[in-house]
Structure 1
């Protein structure tokens, strides 16, 4: 906002603005006339306000001296701070740094820093290598999870298992029947069992003929042979053989080969040991030898297990064909021998791996040394100290300048308050100049018959200056002021006091000054308003910014119409809420529009769908005003009072056509405030009606 020369806040709430003291420059606010008058009289309080305002705004030699010293202090402070940011930004404790007094030369410090740096690099490398060594892998133990003996025992036990039925006679008959009537005996029992499940004991499941007694007797033999115990035995045999078969086909070799290769890589990751440690070399040769033996054993195992699985599958199929009959045991001598050899080599291999890992542990522990970390920390601390000394030598000139600036700031901080105390006792001599300016502005703002003079009130602990008023050369007592001063005079006097204070500022002070005015022209006559605005415009050329607060719409509109093109102005609208107020940026062109222009804008917003709110009577009034404006020349001297008569008169004098006359009457009736029939329609119908109406106004309602 400070870059906008003019800011106008419309509809601001009224607030009393206290008199600023001399310490509040360069930001000023106007004095409401209530700060000069208590009711319609001067009071001790208002005299004190006036005295403080006048004395606080004067520029005297001592004030200039104070300002000069303030500038010196500000310059010294800024230079000191800029120097601190530029030269000492990396210094944590500036006062300690400046207090340093190195005894070594610049070259000696550089040598010490270089030695520390080299030692740090060397130790860091050792520490880094130690960390890498700690992350190296160790060898893994081989695990030959082989339950071969258990699997062989379970397999042969299952193959040998049989079913001792209570119906041995039926089983014997079944065996005889199979030998007599079946060419292939192997799957005969399964075939018969499946047939029993499908038969209903009445008819043949294949041809449908009724079974004779002999056939039924044979079926009974079948059922006695394949009773519930047979089914349970059959189910158990199937389950056990499935589990056993999985035990034989399980891959036990692939993971071991991967582990062996991983261990070889782990040993190779310790080149320091392979180069210097004789034990590692011997152990490495041994595990390589064992790896070769294991590879041969694994290959032999894979061949044997393949052959064994073929024999196992054949025996299992035979058992499954007749689960209640025992099958001969299988022999796995070669496979068992291979299993034993693998176990022995793996045990020897793992023993060597344990020795290797033990050597790895000792090696890793040997490279860990807490003294490295402690020494690195010590080098860092010493390096910082030596660098601080070196930098202190490099910045010796900057340190001297900093001390000079800092001493100046401290000295001025003591001098300036004493000068300000002296100034308070000397300012009264500048009142005469102030009163000269005050009278000029009071007359300029329309109060021509008054003369304002300095009055002195010695009551209290210090003198107070106030206003003595003469009217046409006659002094007016304070009790009669209300009879002499009009409301405009009192407001003009308050504004003149303020204006005289601003006018007494130096050019530099004015450039930094923000002026805030609260309804300065309220209750003013037109000639006073014009003069105030003229002075405001003049003042804006010399000060930083003017902020005008007002709820006087006509006054703001008058100013904007006159000066909006001469000066950049920002218009703000303050709208009161329940417990607060909001500020909005107002478009100047919209603000200064006439009521008719605002109505047109509202109608267009409704037509374009930007809003759904509209006033039912706006269109009827808009029609009448547009006719009066558009045909002002034609209606000159015509005295018809009603809109209907004026429309007819325009047709009579040839200003509009018959068609335009008819449409104008139609719209007049439609928009008649007595009924507003079209308002009963829905919102889109209303919007369409408004659209057609505006088309008639701007495209058809035209002079011939």
Structure 2
């Protein structure tokens, strides 16, 4: 073998062994090995497709292709050992390859089923696989990079959304997530929340607030102690000493301590006629009455009146009724304050007068006593006693406390007015929103939400970068894909034209199903585009019902070759074809031969498998006829039976096995004549068939394939002079007739008479037959 074929690298040289793989139970090939061009013949069912599948698995690193074709029965796991040049061995053992080999392009049923169609349908999986095939390694790398980025982006999005969901569950009110993230920290937010809570509470209870009254100030009258003191100490200097003495003496002698007041009161009943109200005596003549008038002057009357009023006022101002009124107001204020205290920020000290009132009540009698003493003796000066001064001190202190109390009431009422106004003007929805805003602000910057937001922003930044990279890569892929698909459609249709197909592909474009891109296209027949999928009713034209089996295989092969046309690394590839001419007519087979030879010359190596010897011969012959292939090695191999179940690779003489009947007969007679290695009976029977084919090839328009040598001799004998076969009359005719008679005798005698053949005579007849062939070609 030539070990330096096309650079001598990446060449598949030999199958060392194949075990438990389909029909190859224990295969140790007997032939020399693989060459730059290796043509493998195998009848149907011998294991050609199984063998080609080996290369699919090796390229894709998918052990499943091997495992799926493991030999049925108790034979163990598949084991494969392959040899590449430079003694590089690759093994398949224990369910995996020892290494991969990517420089392979395989056309077999896996290519067709995976990338083009299965049955009568073109499914999404085929379109995805075709997309990757068309775009090649660079396009697939870009698509894989994009798929990885999309996967990472999805993962980042999912993680981001998971964090977002956790955070969103905690957000209050209508604030959206992005607004929540953008919140700024607020100093004293806790205090603001409390204040807003109070306000919101007030707004909620606005009806109660508006209807609730303010507090009432206490009205504790001032007692004019100075005036009282002055009046008690006051005397009336204008009364005559005589009148004073006489009246006081009269009171002393005739009346009691209430006498002065009693007389003063009685004088009010004296009429204008100055008649005594008791006895009706005229008082003008009464000396004592005159003394009374002098004694009880206007000034005296005023003083008496004032003292009386003072006593009355003190009795009213310092009375149980008055204390009850004040206490009632205090209790009302306390009740109101208890309500308002929930809405205003003011701490008030409510007034408690029980002790003070009790003390005042206890000391009040001292003041009353001083007043009454004065009342009984208006002309006598009366000073406050010690307890009265205590009473005054207590009352003034109480008055001070009331003023302080009223001052607080005013402040409270001011807050109440402000609260009523604020609450009455407030919008409940606005206040709720602001309250939620404060709560969200607090939440945003507290653990664990603070950390979750940091985590979310991290995933968001990562996804944003991935999305930007994804968009950039998508643009690159779009540009690359458009160029590739436009060119691929053109090239595929070019090959369909070469194969004589009356259809083409149209509207080739990229599509997406999820994250995986695929190729969409239509089949155009008579300029009418048809869908790949059948319609629901099955009546519309589609891939499955407008293309024959041969058309579908043609389309698959056109797809494959269009890819090879644009493959810049084709010179590094091993091309593997498994029966690419299924259901092809003679014309398409011829065109296929031309294209396979063309691309195999550009590739590193060709491995071609087929059940059709004539197709392999045409490829073989075309390779040999190429002037630049004259020094290249071609290996022909066959897959043969090795026992009842096993298969093996063996040497195959393609030239001998594919020669026609004429050449085969000639070779057998030639060999018999020169070395007698052929059975004499076989040699005698081949004389007649050799001559029949000779005449048919030389005069195809004059003879039929069904004509026997006797029929042909009759046509020669009866042919007119102007007929071409008339040239055979004469000596040639006589020799042909003699050989026909001899061969007829051989046919009729049967195989059992072969031992009675006269071999000297047979050699003479064989020599004449070979001479006729040698002589007729130059003459004709």
Question: TM tier, shorter chain?
Answer: 0.3 to 0.5
**Structure of larger gyration radius:** 2
Indicate the structure whose relative CO is greater, using CA pairs within 8 Å and at least 6 residues apart: 1
- Larger helix proportion of the pair: 1
